[in-house]
Amino acid sequence: MPQRIGRADGPAGVTVHERGDLSLGLITARRGMRTTCIDSLRASYDLDAPMTARIVHGRTLSLAWAGPETWLAIGSARPDIETELKAVVGQAASIVDMSDQRVVMRISGPMTRTVLAKGVTIDLHPRVFKPGDTAITPLAHITTQLWQVDDTPTFDLVSPHATARDMFHWLTVSAAEFGLDVGRTQL
Amino acid sequence: MRIVCPHCGERPVDEFVPYGAAGLKRPDASASTSDWLDYVYLRDNKAGMHGELFYHVGGCRAWLIVTRDTRTHAIAEVVAARDQRDAAR
Ligand SMILES: [Zn+2]
């Protein structure tokens, strides 16, 4: 049973759970080797690393744009994503295992955009921000990467581990008026 | 004030850290004291178009060159510093 925070009656306006089973790797193409890097990622994962602020999903890996010539690779738990990605890109990029450095929270429900609007300055209106779009921007003054998962709407929020508890606290306060269901992994 | 980052789009200025004049040429280590004084301390303080470095710390973490009119703060151009350097090579 999820734990309800804030408004107790009716369905939750927002739900949240931690996606705790992920492996995360940061891929930064070396100077002049962007094309080689993108080609090797395509050959291994059948994914085109996005050149704009988008996230793409393959069978075993997702690639989120994370700055110019930089991508965050997201996979379900695997033994060693750093070694895996290094084997794929070789000398074309530097790889850092971010699995223990970032926390990914998935928030969903009808009031999700209203709650996010309390913390970000960018426009998340469905007219301009769509599933597959990603942004790096402060959420409640914490630098965050977020992307839209679906039209529910559902978003993933990626926070540095050190500030994840602060972000979660911000969420409990900001979503309380709509009812927040906290599922599975508690922070 | 809002800056249109070439990577991230329009963002509030508090996502950025200003660093000062863009395009300064670091003197050779053997350069004269006056050349170093000029490089480290002396700025043109011009009234008009002025290029400045901004770091997009709250976003893509890229260095940008923002060209604005110091009399109106109207921004004329924002480019990635790396692109401008690569174009100059
Ligand atoms: Zn940016």
Query: Cα of B81 to ligand 1 centre, how many Å?
Result: 12
Residue range(s) defining the domain that contains residue A117 = 3-19+101-182
Q: From chain B, which residues contact A within 8 Å (Cβ)?
A: 7-9, 11-12, 15, 57-62, 80, 82
Residues A106 and A165 in one domain: yes
Residues A176 and A86 in one domain: no
Residues A91 and A106 in one domain: no
Do A16 and A182 meet the contact criterion of CB atoms below 8 Å apart?
A: yes
- Residue A187 binned pLDDT confidence (cut-offs 50, 70, 90): very low
Using the 3D structure, point to which of A47, A79, A97 is the last residue of a domain. Answer: A97
Partners of A67 on chain B (C-beta within 8 Å) are: 7, 59-62
pLDDT tens-place string over residues A130-176: 999 999 999 999 999 999 999 999 999 999 999 999 999 999 999 99
List of domains in chain B: 2-24+49-88 (3.30.2270.10)
Partners of B62 on chain A (C-beta within 8 Å) are: 67-68
Shortest alpha-carbon distance between residue A55 and chain B (Å): 14
Using the 3D structure, point to which of A66, A97, A128 is the last residue of a domain. Answer: A97
pLDDT tens-place string over residues A73-119: 999 988 999 999 999 999 999 999 999 999 999 999 999 999 999 99
Residues A127 and A84 in one domain: no
Residues A36 and A93 in one domain: yes
Residue A137: the pLDDT is: 97
Instruction: Name the domain count of chain A.
Output: 2
Do A12 and A171 meet the contact criterion of CB atoms below 8 Å apart?
A: no
Interface with A, mutate which of B7, B14, B78, B82 (most A CBs under 10 A): B7
Interface with A, mutate which of B56, B61, B83 (most A CBs under 10 A): B61
CA dist A74 → A58, A92, A143, B36, B74 (Å): 10, 19, 18, 47, 40
Residue A8 lies in a domain: yes
Q: Within chain B, which residues score under 50 in pLDDT?
A: none
- Total residue length of chain A: 187
pLDDT tens-place string over residues A35-52: 999 999 999 999 999 999
Partners of A129 on chain B (C-beta within 8 Å) are: none
Residue A33 lies in a domain: yes
User: Which segments of chain A are extended strands (E)?
Assistant: 3-5, 14-18, 22-29, 55-57, 62-65, 70-76, 93-97, 102-108, 134-139, 142-150, 154-160, 180-182
**What residues contact B33, with CB distance under 8 A and at least 6 apart?**
none
- Judged by CB atoms closer than 8 Å, whether chains meet at B15 and A138 is answered as yes
Interface with A, mutate which of B15, B17, B85, B86 (most A CBs under 10 A): B15
Using the 3D structure, point to which of A51, A71, A97 is the last residue of a domain. Answer: A97
Q: ipTM of this predicted complex?
A: 0.88
Q: Select from B69, B70, B65, B45 the least CA-distant residue to B53.
A: B65
Residues A120 and A162 in one domain: yes
Residue A170 lies in a domain: yes
d(CA B59, CA B12): 11
Residues A81 and A70 in one domain: yes
What is chain B's Cα-based Rg? 14
CA dist A171 → A29, A139, A149, B27, B78 (Å): 34, 10, 18, 50, 34
Tokens of A182: 């906290």
Residues A78 and A50 in one domain: yes
pTM of this prediction? 0.92
CATH code, A120 = 3.30.1360.120
Shortest alpha-carbon distance between residue B81 and chain A (Å): 12
CATH code, A83 = 3.30.70.1520
Residue A123 lies in a domain: yes
Residues A147 and A174 in one domain: yes
Residue A91: the pLDDT is: 96
Shortest alpha-carbon distance between residue B47 and chain A (Å): 31
Residue A187 lies in a domain: no
